[in-house]
A and B are shown apart, each in its own frame.
Chain A
Amino acid sequence: MEKNSIKINRQNSVRAGILDSLPLAIAVFAYGLSYGVMAAQAGFTLLQAVMMSALVFSGSIQLVAVSMIISGIQFMSILLVAFLLNLRNLLYGAALAEGLSQSGRWKWLLATAVSDESLVLGTSHFKKQGPDHIYFAALALTFFLPWILAAWLGFMLGGSINPQTYGLDLAFPVTFMVILVPALADRPGLATCLAGVLVALLMEYVFPKSGLTIIVGGLTAPLIGVYLSKKKLLIEKDPTIISATTLDKEEPIDE
C-alpha cells in the first residue's frame, strides 16, 4: 500500500516536472538553436558544439563564450566572465538545496541542472510541495534533451539562417520577462524588480564592459525586497504600528 503511494507520488512528481517545464523547454530549444548557429560561426566542430551543451549545460555561459570567441576575445577573459556569471550558481544552489535535500548521491548529478529556469520552477514547486528531487530530475531532463537537440540542429543550420530573422534572439528576454510577471504581484517583488533594473542600468552605464552587472544586481536588489517584506510582516504582527503611523500623519489634518 505504502509502496503504491510512493509510486504514485513519484509519477505525479515526474508528470508535474515535465508539464511545468514543457513551455520553457520550447524557449530553451529556441535559445539552443541560437547557440548552435553561433557555435558554427565560432569555428566549433559539431562534436564540440554538442559536447559543450552536454557538459556545460548553461545558456548564458555558452552563448557568452561563443559570442566572445566570434569577437576574437582572449581565452582568459572568457574564463573571467564565465566565473562571474557562475557566481550566481552559488546563490541558486543555496536556494535549491533544501528542495533537493533528500536526493542523496543523486544530488551530484542533479547539480548539473542548476540554472535560471530550474531555479524559478524548482523553488516555486518546493515552496508548495516541500523537497522533491524527482520533480527536479524530470524538469532537468525536459530541458536537457531539447538543449542538446537544438545545439545539433542549430549547428547544422550553421550560418545559413540569421537568428534575428526568426526572432530566436528574442526567445531569451521574452521568456524571462514572462517568468517574472507572477513574481511581481506583491510590493516587495515589484520593488526588487525595479531595483534590479535600476542597478543593472547604472552598472551598464558606468561600467559597460565589467561583466559584473548581473552579479551586482543579483546581490543588491533583493535587499529592498527583504526590507519591504520584513516591514509588511511587522505590520501584520502588530497592526498598531500602522495605526500609530497613520495617526501621526493624520494629526495635523485634524488640527
Chain B
Amino acid sequence: MNNWILIIVLALMTYSSRVMGLELMSGRNIRPSFRLYLNYVPIAIISALVIKEIFTVENGRLTFSPVVFFACLLAALIMKKSSNLLLSILSGILFGVGLRFFL
C-alpha cells in the first residue's frame, strides 16, 4: 500500500515540475542571457551526473571508481573519433565489463 502512495506522490511531483517548466516559460520573451544560460544547463547537469557515478560516496567518503571512469573515457574517445552514439555506448559498457573481470 505504501508503495502505491509513494508511486502516486512521485508521479504527481514529477509531472508538476515538468508542466511548470513548460507552462511558466512558454510564450514568454526569454532574455538572451537566460536563453544562453539554459543552453549550458544540460552540460552542467550531465557533467554532475557523470561525476557522481565516477566518484561515489561510501561511508561518507568519496570513492573513485576506475571501471566507470575508464568506461566513460573510452566511450568519449570513440564518440569523438566516430560520432557513432551506439558504437560508443556499447564499447564503453563492454570495456567496463571486461575491466571488472581483470580488476
The dominant DSSP class at the B interface is: helix
A138 to B24, CA, bound (A): 24
Say how far A224's CB is from chain B's closest CB, in angstroms.
Answer: 8
Given contacts A94-B24, A167-B96, contact A123 B39 (CB under 8 A): yes
Are the CB atoms of B71 and A170 closer together than 8 Å?
yes
Q: Give CA–CA (A172, B71) in the complex, Å.
A: 11
Residues of A within 8 A of B19 (CB): 93, 108, 111
Closest Cβ of chain B: how far from A230's Cβ, in Å?
A: 7
Residue of B7, B33, B88, B96 near A52 (CB, 8 A) is B7
CA A9 – CA B45 in complex, angstroms?
Answer: 32
Q: Do the beta carbons of A200 and B47 come within 8 Å of each other?
A: yes
B2 surroundings in chain A (CB, below 8 A): 75
Give the total of A residues in contact with B, Cβ under 8 Å.
96
Contact in complex: B88, A178 (CB < 8 Å) = yes
Nearest CB to that of B90 among chain A residues?
A: A26
Interchain CA distance A218-B39 in the complex, whole Å: 11
Which residue from A86, A107, A119, A181 sits with its C-beta under 8 Å from B79?
A181
Given known A-B contacts A55-B8, A90-B20, A225-B43, A167 and B94 have beta carbons under 8 A apart: yes
Which residues of B sit under 8 angstroms from A192, Cβ to Cβ?
A: 40, 43-44, 47
Docked CA distance A213–B49 (Å): 9
Q: Contact check, A23 vs B38: say whether CB atoms are below 8 A apart.
A: no
Complex interface: chain B residues within 8 A of A60 (CB): 49
Residues of B within 8 A of A213 (CB): 48, 52
B residues in contact with A209, CB < 8 Å? 57, 60
| A231 shortest CB reach to chain B, Å | 12
Within 8 A of B (CB), among A51-88: 51-52, 55-58, 60-62, 65, 69, 75, 78-79, 82-83, 86-88
